[in-house]
Chains A and B, each alone.
Chain A
Amino acid sequence: MNPSWQKGYSTKSVYLQTPFHQGIGYVNLRINAAMIQVQNVSKHYGELVAVDNISFQLEKGDVLGFLGPNGAGKTTTMRIITGYMPPTKGSVYISDIDVFEDPQAAKSHIGYLPENPPLYEDMVVREYLDFVADIKQVPNREKNGRIHYVMEKCGIVNVGKRIIGHLSKGYKQRVGIAQALINDPEVLVLDEPTSGLDPMQIIEIRELIKGLSGERTVILSTHILPEVTMICSKVVIINKGKIVLEESLERLTNKIDGIENILLKTRYWGEEIQEKIISLPNVSDIRLGLSNELIIEPKKGVDIREDLTDLVMQNGWGLLEMRPVVHNLEEVFLRAISTEGN
């Protein structure tokens, strides 16, 4: 067997031959039904390496949170996936179609909301959606139904007759999302869908995206970290064009919970406190916090709060504060980015 198949490298057209016949034709062998496959993609702008050998794959129904600081290469990666620009190296498959071998077929599976919604400001909302449906080759008999559906789904029915240029930013963003959905795409690529919106609109757009996932495969870039925990099932963090972390959200949160530290603050302050605490059976590490507090790292999965209180009480150090330090995504994010930087 071809070893590359075992790496999950999707389908190959194989000419089936049997000993008895000449052959029965080409068949697609589905080794791994990945919806999106990004394979060793790099993008260079002259000297600058914007994306450096990125690979990941998404199954049907995955919602990927694509994180990274500004200029990390998120937008470039998304543009490559949607076929807006070709990669310098590597390839992208959308439901087993190579985006650059057969762009027309691949693009018809994708809905894309760029960072700036691609709106013709002089058009009326409905007319605009009609145009997008046309260029995305939605069949004429389904067109009106689709337009109606996306307008309803994105909550823009009441602005259908208004000129796009006169809409508020939140409505423009919704029209942008409606545009991406018009051809009922299996893959939805959203570049910072909630940027520049007010908190209320952000919540609405998030709900909308959550409602859209399920059957669809969604890639969503953002720099709002809580958004990822709310919407996504998988996280990829990139920095300086490289993937520094790729994890399912489930495992990521487990990881976070597993290393929950305890912050302890006492009135009495002395060297022996640290010594005594570290000698507790379930403590694996201890370090000094910013303002005379101790950060205590327990052994994995053990709750040491009771032991700690007992110890403080026995010695009469005067307990002022004790709380778990939540390792949130922010911390994971910062750590992922900074380790790469070193």
Chain B
Amino acid sequence: MKGVYPILKRELRSYFASPLAYVILVVFQLVSAMFFFLNLKGFLHLQFDPSYQLLREELNLNTVIIIPYFDTMSIVLLFIIPLITMRLLADERKSHTAELLFTSPIKLRSIILGKYLAALILLIIMLCLSSLNIVVLMAHGNPDLGVVLSSYLGLLLLGASFLAIGIFASSLSSSQLVAAVIAFGILLLLWLVGASSDTESSIFGYISLISHFKNFGKGIIELKDLAYYLSVIYIGLFLTHTALDSERWR
């Protein structure tokens, strides 16, 4: 696994050398803060609603703010991740640096892994920044920390799966735009395919990216969901490797 670190370092540097990383971080932060604020406002509204008294048990911080917040975040990620991954490999091809990478004495899998980890670090930074919203909530109330943590784990795994699919899309084209569109298309398909069914009842429910996230939102960490996301990540990276390797043989 020699060579992973220099690739990762360069990739991260390149994210932050261009405005891209900052724009993505700011947009994600703004959008998440906005959704958080709307949920919070809805919750405060309920406080003065007389019927709220009857449903006090059900309509707490978790059900009104935390769960919907993480659901929306997962959709926001769906839009943002293709923008993070689009340049990873497409740009190497466009700027002819692929020839440098592929003639260096490092393995193809180290290159892919380095790039993937750099994108993953950006994702983690993004999620950490957005946790400020939750910190504010903690200061003034007591949300269920277990649910928050499992939701973050779910969001991280979901985002990491998106990244793996995104890097695969990026390996297919030398145009960043095409790579982003392909990634977005695949993600949307995998998202919607099981929108109407759950993981148990049908195969579509099982392969859907969204249905596995639901448990995390409820504070349940199940092995099958972990296994699902880890497999998606592995398959994404494996396909990337295959795509790049087979291109050389053509």
Contact between chains at B104 and A121 (CB < 8 Å): no
Interface size on A, residues (CB 8 A): 31
Cβ of A118 within 8 Å of any chain B Cβ, yes or no, is yes
Q: Is the CB of B107 within 8 A of A84?
A: no
Restricting to B90-107, which residues have a CB under 8 Å from any CB of A? Answer: 95-107
**Interface hub of B2, B18, B101, B103 (most chain A Cβ within 10 A):** B103
Q: Is A327 an interface residue (CB 8 A)?
A: no
Q: Residue of B at shortest CB range from A110?
A: B103
In the complex the two chains form, is B6's CB within 8 Å of A134's CB? yes
A117 within 8 A of B: yes
Does A107 count as interface, using CB distance less than 8 angstroms?
yes
**Cβ of A116 < 8 Å from any Cβ of B?**
yes
- Contacts A120-B14, A122-B17, A122-B18; A135 near B101 (Cβ below 8 A): yes
Say if the beta carbon of B249 comes within 8 Å of chain A.
Answer: yes
Q: Is B45 an interface residue (CB 8 A)?
A: no
Q: Is B7 an interface residue (CB 8 A)?
A: yes
Chain A contacts for B102, CB-based, 8 A: 83-84
Which listed residue (A86, A104, A114) contacts B99, Cβ 8 A?
A: A114
Q: How far is the CB of A281 from chain B (nearest CB, A)?
A: 59
Is the Cβ of A137 less than 8 Å from the Cβ of B100?
no
Residue of B nearest to A132 (CB): B100
Kindly list chain B residues whose C-beta atoms are within 8 Å of the C-beta of A319.
none
Q: Are B95's CB and A84's CB within 8 A? A: no
Contact of A120 among B3, B95, B99 (CB under 8 A): B95
Are B103 and A112 closer than 8 Å at their CB atoms? yes
The answer to whether B99 and A112 have CB atoms under 8 Å apart is yes
Query: Given A84-B99, A120-B10, A123-B14, is A136 in contact with B105 using a C-beta cutoff of 8 Å?
Result: yes
CB neighbours (8 Å) of A85 from chain B are: 248-249
CB-contacts of B124-171 with A (<8 A):
none
The answer to whether A107 and B103 have CB atoms under 8 Å apart is: yes
Q: Which residues from A are CB-within-8-Å of B248?
A: 84-86
Query: Chain A's nearest CB lies how many Å from the CB of B136?
Result: 36
Kindly list chain B residues whose C-beta atoms are within 8 Å of the C-beta of A104.
105-107
Instruction: Decide if B97 touches A120 in the complex (CB within 8 Å).
Output: yes
Report whether A118 and B96 are in contact in the complex, using a CB–CB cutoff of 8 Å. yes
Interface presence of A15 (CB below 8 A)? no
Q: How far is the CB of A267 from chain B (nearest CB, A)?
A: 59
Report chain A residues within 8 Å CB of B98: 118
In the assembled complex, the Cα of A126 lies from the Cα of B210 at a distance in Å of 45
B96 with A137: CB separation less than 8 A? no
Measured between beta carbons, the chain A residues less than 8 angstroms from B106 are 104, 135, 137
User: Nearest Cβ in chain A — how far from B73, in angstroms?
Assistant: 30
Nearest B residue to A183 via CB reads: B105
B250 is an interface residue with CB less than 8 A from chain A: yes
Identify which of residues 160-214 in chain A touch chain B, using a CB-to-CB cut-off of 8 Å: 179
A119 touches B97 (CB 8 A): yes
Nearest CB of A to B109, in Å: 12
Min Cβ gap B26→A in Å is 20
Tell me if B103 and A121 are in contact (CB < 8 A). Answer: no
What chain A residues lie within 8 Å of B100 (beta carbons)? 112, 114, 118, 132, 135, 179
Chain A residues contacting B105 (CB-CB under 8 Å) are 103-105, 107-108, 135-137
A131 within 8 A of B: yes
**Roughly how many angstroms separate A137 CA and B6 CA in the complex, as a whole number?**
10
A217 at the interface (CB under 8 A from B): no
Chain A residues, CB < 8 A from B250 = 45
Distance between Cα atoms of A57 and B3 in the complex (Å):
31
Q: Which chain B residues lie closer than 8 Å to A86 at the CB level?
A: 248-249
| B2, B96, B99, B106: residue with the most chain A Cβ atoms closer than 10 Å | B99
Considering only residues 1-56 of chain B, those with a C-beta below 8 Å from chain A are 2-3, 5-7, 9-10, 13-14, 17-18
| A239 touches B (CB below 8 Å) | no
Give the residues in chain B near A112, CB-CB below 8 Å.
Answer: 99-100, 103
24 A-B pairs with C-beta separation under 8 A: A82-B103, A84-B103, A105-B105, A107-B103, A110-B103, A112-B99, A114-B96, A114-B99, A114-B100, A118-B100, A118-B101, A120-B10, A120-B14, A122-B17, A123-B10, A123-B13, A123-B14, A123-B17, A134-B3, A134-B9, A135-B101, A135-B104, A136-B105, A137-B105
Contacts A86-B249, A114-B96, A137-B3 known; list 17 others, CB within 8 Å.
A45-B250, A79-B99, A82-B103, A83-B102, A84-B103, A104-B105, A108-B105, A112-B99, A114-B99, A120-B10, A123-B10, A131-B6, A135-B3, A135-B104, A136-B104, A136-B105, A137-B2
A residues with CB within 8 A of B = 45, 79, 82-86, 103-105, 107-108, 110, 112, 114, 116-123, 127, 131-132, 134-137, 179
B residues whose Cβ falls under 8 Å from a Cβ of A: 2-3, 5-7, 9-10, 13-14, 17-18, 95-107, 248-250
Q: Which 9 A-B pairs have the closest CB atoms?
A: A134-B6, A118-B100, A108-B105, A116-B96, A107-B105, A114-B99, A118-B97, A135-B104, A82-B103
